[in-house]
């Protein structure tokens, strides 16, 4: 009885809001949806308590089906709810009452191009999970968790994209930038996630379709739900379709990267002023992070690699407890973000005078870095840039100590195509962003790496990094 009264009260409240405003707005919709969520959970708890109080109960087949579609439809933005178990409809068209939602122009073009690439690759849908690709195509910032979230983009550009997600994230999808005209299929905690995937698959015909997925980002969790909801679908990699779009950056992406680099270089300059003997690698890393926050960092590209003395002989050594001593080499690989785009910079400095061998190694790496930057231009194959840097180091007799590729593409993921390495025959084109980071690493001696961030232009290449590459002592 109490539950029925409670439900009726919410229904009347929704009708009142609608009558006052003559319709609904996104803010009102979100508010009413949140009311529905809160009420539904409260009533569900009450129902469970009532059931426990009445002892064991039998459940008919129809009742089981009703529970699988718990919380009946919230009418599409009419502001009122029916029934005492309610939730946003499993398929919820997120159109505004006053005008259709639209993509931002950038994302609209990206999704349109993705549809064309998907068709070219023979795909019907491209599925992405929270992360770089979801940000790139939608502007939505979500994170991977135990609750699956998957966006499906159709190769048929006249169809709407589909989003399977937790119910409490629906409002975020509505209010995020850009505002997408999604078909959403949501679930609440305690509900079988598979139900939302099944509903999505049935509504748009995923079963039997050719679905491309992210080979490195999608987990078994999401892949299993897709496969179970569309058992006859053909699932393959969508890497080529996605990479073809993201491999070249537009002006806004390049500008964001430029700002991230400027910020990061300012952070490095300030931090080096604070470095002294007796500090640990961890303390240097902490100083970087503190200065980044002070100077306006919006995020960290990756945990800083700070390597002192003999520890610099390991290309990806982390910041540990090694203490800086006079004469030590100090290698710092770090980067911070602006508008989601990262810097990735390495500089090697010396605390006091370096040994003659380390001075020679530094000069060789500096020359290799310059050769790589000079070789970077439109029409050149990625592997040719790698060859240019490697030749300098080989000719100096240190070839076996250069143990990694020359560089990697730089974007939302930090490491992404193209790769500056032997075997990558990608032709460099204007807008491609990547690193040039040759290094020499010798156990028992130390290591040197100099890393710059490059962008290909119409006439050549520009180093977005400007921090000095000259041998520096502190």
pLDDT in tens, 328-343: 999 999 999 999 999 9
What pLDDT band is residue 64 in, cutting at 50, 70 and 90? Answer: very low
pLDDT in tens, 439-455: 999 999 999 999 999 99
What integer pLDDT is reported at residue 320 of this predicted model? Answer: 94
Mean pLDDT of the chain: 83
Q: Which has the minimum average pLDDT: 24-38, 377-391, 428-442?
A: 24-38
What integer pLDDT is reported at residue 180 of this predicted model? Answer: 67
Residue whose tokens read 């002070």: 294
Domain extent listing, the chain: 2-88, 105-246, 251-463
- 56 or 136, higher pLDDT: 136
What integer pLDDT is reported at residue 178 of this predicted model? Answer: 54
**What average pLDDT does the segment 114-119 reach?**
96
| pLDDT of residue 262 exceeding 60 | yes
Gap between the Cα atoms of 38 and 10, Å rounded: 11
What integer pLDDT is reported at residue 42 of this predicted model? Answer: 46
**What average pLDDT does the segment 45-50 reach?**
42
**What average pLDDT does the segment 136-147 reach?**
93
**What average pLDDT does the segment 416-432 reach?**
98
Which three-class secondary structure state does DSSP give residue 162? strand
8 Å CB contact between 295 and 411? no
pLDDT in tens, 221-241: 999 999 999 999 999 999 999
Pairing type for strands 72-74 and 86-88 reads parallel
CA distances from 18 to 95, 99, 383 (A): 16, 17, 63
- Contacts with 425 (C-beta within 8 Å, 6 or more apart), sequence order: 381, 382, 383
What pLDDT band is residue 158 in, cutting at 50, 70 and 90? Answer: confident
- 414 or 61, higher pLDDT: 414
CATH homologous superfamily of domain 105-246? Creatinase/prolidase N-terminal domain (3.40.350.10)
Regarding pTM above 0.75, the answer is: yes
CATH topology of domain 251-463: Creatine Amidinohydrolase (3.90.230)
**What average pLDDT does the segment 146-153 reach?**
98
| pLDDT of residue 47 exceeding 70 | no
Backbone angles phi, psi at 164, to 5 degrees: -105, 125
What pLDDT band is residue 179 in, cutting at 50, 70 and 90? Answer: low
Element spanning 449, H or E: strand 446-449
What pLDDT band is residue 310 in, cutting at 50, 70 and 90? Answer: very high
């Amino acid at each position: 009885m109490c539950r029925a009264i409670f439900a009726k009260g919410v229904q009347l409240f929704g009708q009142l809001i609608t009558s006052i405003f003559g319709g609904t707005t996104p803010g009102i919709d979100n508010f009413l949806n949140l009311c529905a969520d809160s009420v539904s959970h409260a009533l569900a708890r009450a129902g469970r308590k009532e059931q426990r109080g009445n002892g064991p109960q039998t459940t008919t087949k129809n009742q089981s089906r009703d529970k699988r579609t718990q919380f009946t439809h919230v009418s599409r933005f009419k502001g009122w709810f029916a029934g005492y178990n309610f939730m946003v409809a499993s398929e919820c068209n997120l159109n505004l009452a006053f005008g259709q939602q639209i993509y931002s122009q950038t994302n609209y073009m990206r999704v349109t191009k993705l549809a064309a690439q998907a068709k070219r690759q023979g795909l019907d849908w491209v599925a992405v999970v929270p992360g770089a690709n979801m940000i790139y195509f939608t502007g939505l910032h979500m994170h991977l968790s135990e609750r699956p979230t998957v966006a499906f983009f159709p190769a048929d550009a006249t169809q709407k994209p589909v989003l399977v997600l937790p119910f409490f994230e629906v409002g975020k999808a509505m209010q995020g930038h850009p505002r997408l005209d999604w078909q959403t299929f949501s679930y609440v905690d305690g509900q079988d996630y598979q139900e939302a995937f099944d509903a999505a698959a049935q509504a748009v015909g995923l079963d039997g379709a050719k679905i491309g997925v992210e080979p490195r980002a999608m987990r078994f969790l999401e892949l299993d739900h897709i496969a179970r909801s569309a058992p006859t679908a053909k699932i393959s990699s969508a890497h080529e379709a996605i990479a073809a779009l993201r491999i070249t950056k537009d002006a806004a992406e390049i500008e964001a990267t430029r700002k991230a680099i400027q910020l990061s270089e300012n952070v490095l300059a300030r931090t080096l002023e604070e470095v002294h003997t007796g500090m640990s690698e961890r303390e240097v890393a902490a100083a970087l992070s503190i200065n980044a926050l002070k100077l306006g960092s919006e995020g960290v590209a990756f945990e800083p690699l700070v390597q002192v003395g003999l520890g610099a002989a390991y290309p990806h050594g982390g910041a540990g407890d090694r203490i800086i001593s006079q004469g030590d080499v100090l290698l710092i690989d770090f980067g911070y973000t602006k508008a989601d785009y990262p810097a990735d910079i390495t500089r090697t400095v010396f605390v006091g005078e370096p040994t003659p061998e380390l001075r020679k190694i530094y000069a060789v790496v500096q020359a290799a870095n310059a050769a790589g930057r000079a070789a970077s231009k439109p029409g050149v194959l990625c592997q040719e840039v790698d060859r240019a840097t490697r030749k300098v180091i080989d000719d100096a007799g240190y070839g076996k100590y250069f143990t990694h590729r020359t560089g990697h593409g730089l974007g939302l993921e930090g490491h992404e195509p193209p790769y500056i390495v032997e075997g990558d025959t990608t032709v460099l084109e204007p807008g491609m962003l990547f690193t040039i980071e040759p290094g020499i690493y010798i156990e028992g001696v130390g290591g040197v790496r100099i890393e710059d961030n490059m962008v290909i232009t119409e006439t050549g290449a520009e180093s977005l990094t400007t921090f000095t590459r000259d041998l520096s002592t502190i």
